Every structure is written in C-alpha cells, then in structure tokens.
Amino acid sequence: MNKPVLFARKIKNIFLPAFTADTAISNQKILRELLLCFEASFKRESFGNRMLFHTYFYIILHPDDYADRRPALAEITKQAINHFYKLIAKEKSKYEEFIPVSENWCFRFSEGTNYNKLNISVEKGTPVIISMLMGEDLNNLSSSAHIKATYRPKNSDPYAKMDINADGLRMIEVVSDGVFRVRFDENLNSLSKAPRSEVNGFALLSFSVGSKSFQYIMKDRQIIITGKTSSSTSRHVLSIDSPYVETEHLRIKVAENLDSFEIAAFAATTLNQKEMQLSSGKRINWMPLGKNSEILLGQMFNIEFESRL
C-alpha cells in the first residue's frame, strides 16, 4: 500500500481556483500541484470506513526553480498542510477513522534534473512530486538521496542569512535545507493559529559573559546556539560572544509531544554533568532535556535552562 506514487497533474480539482500556467515557477503553482497530489492520494487510498492519504511528499524542482523558490519552501509547506486539514475536515464525517498511518507530515524539496529511480527528467517550471503513506526517518535523510549529481548539498542553517519572520515558522521543524516536518494535529488546527505565548515563550536561558548577565527567551520551537562568528540576526539563533562557544554549537527544540524538550550538541557539551554524544552533519542525536537543566559548553561556558511549558 505504501508504494511511492508519481503525481502527474491530470485531475480536475474542485477545491481550488483555476491556475493559469506559466513557464516560470511560482509558489502558487507548487502549492496547487501539492494539493492535487494530496487529493489524488485521498481518493486512491481511502476505502470502506477508513480515510487514508499520503503524508510524505518528495518535491523535485529544476535547480533554477529551487534557487528561486528556496526562501518560500517552508511557507509553501505550511499553506499545503492548512489546505490538507480543510479537505480532511470536510470529508471526515464520511469515515470512522481519519488519523494517518504516519505521525508527521514530511516534505522534502530537492533540486535536480533527473529522478534516478523512475528515470524522470525534471523540467524548468514543472515540479515532480512523489508521495507516500509513510517514508524514511527525515533526521537521517539526505536531501540529495536518489537525485543525480546536479544537487548541491548545503550544510549551514538554511535560513540564517534570510530576513524571515521566524514566528511564522514556529510549528514547522526544519530538519535540513529543504526538508520540513510537522506533527499531525488530530484537531486539524491551522498552523497559523497555533497557540504560543509571545511573552513567556517556551523556555528561558540564562548565562553570563564577563561581568554581564543575559537572559534569552526561547520563542521558537527550535533554536540554535552559536558563537559570535555567526552573522545571523534571526530570532531563533542565539549568538554568544565567547571563545568556548563554537559555530552552531547546540540545538534545542520542543519535542513532538509539545510538553518536553530535546537537545543536540555539535561541539563539546556537558548536560547536567554528563558529557553529550555529538551530532555530525545531517545525523542529529537528539537527547531529552530536563525542564531545569545546566548546560556547559566547551567545559567552561555555563547556561541555565528553565522550561516554561
């Protein structure tokens, strides 16, 4: 049942306004193709009293299109999921069960001119979408998987140098460049309406640099702690001017259950007096982070972590 489905847009859609084809790729065109793909999977997979639909989407764009649309990929993901929820809400009364096989929505955008497994060419202005009921673990998934050498991997924070309203992406986990994950909400709430305290945030991080004390309110589901060498001014990036803090030293995120935290270290870190196993590249070793924890970076720089969940 979980065979990948290559989507070719040949279905007349009744849930979307008409789209005028354009040789240049647009956010609306990618969104429309995703929605048509989702609707096709819904019709194909649902049976009896069981609603089924695909939750894993692999979107391959021509390299020129990927470069042009890259800043909008997370927002396209959010809009697609919001539309998916609307369709599910509209149809769920016809079925006894609508919870998907997978716990998460997963989107992987890649650039390439060919898709190896199916020998498909990727043309400029036309995305190729492959969807599944469930897929691989995105924490260990390379965005270049199955794509020929036209793909250029990027190991840095994909949004660090972009002027982006991080609050708009707070419910989306950025796994790596072009790879996004969102936990399925059984209440079908729109991502744009996700509740969160703008004042209190998720957690409070306290630390000192020299004789000065600082407090940082974690207002995003995932943050990066990095050395001052980082030029990012994004809210989800905490830059600390200390020789003991390395570039992208640490990541902290709200766990998928939304009532606890996880932490991953990319340089020497001690958590509550225990040395952490280091992450490397796209292999991220997430560990539980207690609601009141002491984090020691480089064996010298101390951060007090306090949960506000």
259-286 pLDDT tens trace: 889 999 999 999 999 999 999 877 889 9
CA distance 171 to 196: 10
Q: What is the pLDDT of residue 4?
A: 59
Residues near 204 by Cβ (< 8 Å), separated by ≥ 6? 215, 216, 217, 218, 305, 306, 308
Q: What is the pLDDT of residue 236?
A: 86
CA distance 23 to 88: 31
Q: Is the pLDDT of residue 165 over 70?
A: no
What percentage of the chain carries pLDDT values higher than 90? 51
pLDDT tens digit sequence for 218-227: 988 889 999 9
- Residue 290 CB neighbour total at 10 angstroms: 13
CB crowding 82-96: b at 16 or more within 10 Å, else e: ebbbebbeeeeeeee
CB distance 91 to 42 below 8 Å:
yes
Task: Report which of residues 272 and 255 the model is more confident about.
Answer: 272
Stretch among 112-126, 236-250, 264-278 having the lowest mean pLDDT: 112-126
